[in-house]
Chain A
Amino acid sequence: MSERYDIAIVGSGPAGITAAINAKIRNKKIILFGYENLSNKLYLAPRIDNYVGFHGIRGKELAEKFKAHLDEMDIEITYERPDNIYAMGDYYAIMINGKLYEATALILATGIQFGKPFRGEAEFLGRGVGYCATCDAPLYKGKTVTIIGYNKESIEEANYVSELAEKVYFVPMMKEEYSLNHNIEVIQDKPVEIVGSTKVEKLVLKNSEIQSDGIFILRDSVPPDQLVPGLLVEDAHIKVNRDMETNLEGCYAAGDVTGKPYQYLKAMGEGQVAALNAVAYLERRKLNSDGVSNPTEGK
């Protein structure tokens, strides 16, 4: 068993780092998942005029100040991207490439996801549509599989699937170079819709169609309710209350992922509220496990 963190924070943008700083001040054992430049959106912002106290600052400069703040507080960023997070009841299991992290509380600060699902994607999810080719490949032995790939990992997955499936089509959605096994057929076309009756039958593209038993869509970022199964999402945003609580006990969300406006200060305020409430949640649980009755618990 891996060691269990008090709070896992997913995302190193303004919401995530503010949550991390506040949880660290409360002396909690935290793990912060994110990126070296903290947030692409922040890093690339040419000029920011509504960040109080820093009129006219460049995003890059602000990101550097944020980094210095994290360093000052000995907060490290784990440069990994969780594939799936499972609500196990008394803890969250965070899976990254087959590796497992555990945390009692969870703060989601993953930012807003761009890109809409394809028509038919939700309808056929689990009936031919999947998001993890390596997970389900053995079910497609001797069948035809199409992979819509948005990143490097999708190449590896396509190559793996091609060893099991009878026929593999690959629809590249990225610009980088890639090398695929010789038996994979590359389709340079834009997916439009997934069609079938009781299960997937074909992928309709702008200029062509592919008959396929299974379609795997391998995107860079997954919608929050795919990342955390069971999480309540409304209009593509995680549903939270004023305490930044989601529908899952011990799981909080902050920043753009909870809804508009998409602003630094809003994200940071939410990150702070989420962290403080996660700390309160840990304390409530501790009281309960010590056998002390706590009549104020719950709402």
Chain B
Amino acid sequence: MVMEVNQGNFNEVIKDTVPVLVDFWAPWCGPCKMLGPVLEEVAVELEGKMKVTKLNVDENQEISMEYGVSSIPTVLVFKEGALVDRFVGFMPKAAIIQKLEKHI
């Protein structure tokens, strides 16, 4: 399951004991729409090993600013609250999993 995060719970969620992926997206973004279902599959595949979340940049501009998100989709990976990786733009599932494996 892909969990929605926002300004209210973001800082809490990224401190999780398992690594946390945050998908920065917006409803008007075409590539975000394509990445969404791919990340749903990633979430299933990595269940228990990584938490997959998404954040709407329109509704949470402060967080987007804080992390310098200037293109979407942008995916950030956190480990116990610390930013450990980021990638920008659509990626196929196999490539995403490969990128994430080193954080698991």
Contact = CB atoms under 8 A, between A and B. Distances in A.
Interface stretch (B6-14, B15-23, B26-34, B46-54): B26-34
B88 A89 contact: no
A289 interface: no
In the complex, the 6 A-B pairs of residues with the closest C-beta atoms, listed nearest first:
A126-B88, A87-B92, A230-B92, A86-B34, A229-B90, A126-B71
A127 B30 contact: no
Interface of A: 84, 86-89, 93, 95, 98, 125-128, 130, 135-136, 138-140, 198-200, 213-214, 229-230, 248
B71 A199 contact: no
A88 B91 CA distance: 9
Interface in B45-76: 57-58, 64, 68-72, 74
B80 interface: no
A126 B74 contact: yes
B54 to A, nearest CB: 16
B71 A139 contact: yes
A125 B71 CA distance: 8
B93 A136 contact: no
A248 B90 CA distance: 14
Given A84-B90, A136-B70, A213-B70, 11 more contacts: A84-B30, A89-B93, A98-B30, A126-B70, A127-B71, A130-B71, A138-B28, A138-B58, A139-B72, A198-B68, A229-B31
Contact residue range for chain B? Answer: 20 to 34
Contacts of B93: 87, 89
A86 B31 contact: yes
A126 B90 CA distance: 11
A218 to B, nearest CB: 14
B104 interface: no
A91 to B, nearest CB: 11
A229 B92 contact: yes
Most chain A CB inside 10 Å of its own CB: which residue of B26, B68, B92: B92
B55 to A, nearest CB: 13
A199 B68 contact: yes
Given A88-B37, A136-B70, A230 B95 contact: yes
Contacts of B57: 139
Contacts of A139: 57, 64, 69-72
B89 A126 contact: yes
B31 to A, nearest CB: 7
Contact of B31 (A84, A125, A200, A213): A84
Contact of B70 (A86, A88, A199): A199
Contacts of A128: 70
Contacts of B58: 138
A89 B69 CA distance: 26
Nearest to A130: B71
Nearest to A226: B89
Contacts of B41: 89
A128 B30 CA distance: 18
28 contacts: A84-B30, A86-B34, A88-B38, A88-B92, A89-B38, A89-B92, A93-B34, A95-B30, A126-B74, A126-B87, A126-B89, A127-B68, A127-B88, A130-B70, A135-B31, A135-B71, A136-B70, A136-B71, A136-B72, A138-B58, A139-B69, A139-B71, A198-B68, A200-B70, A229-B90, A229-B92, A230-B90, A230-B92
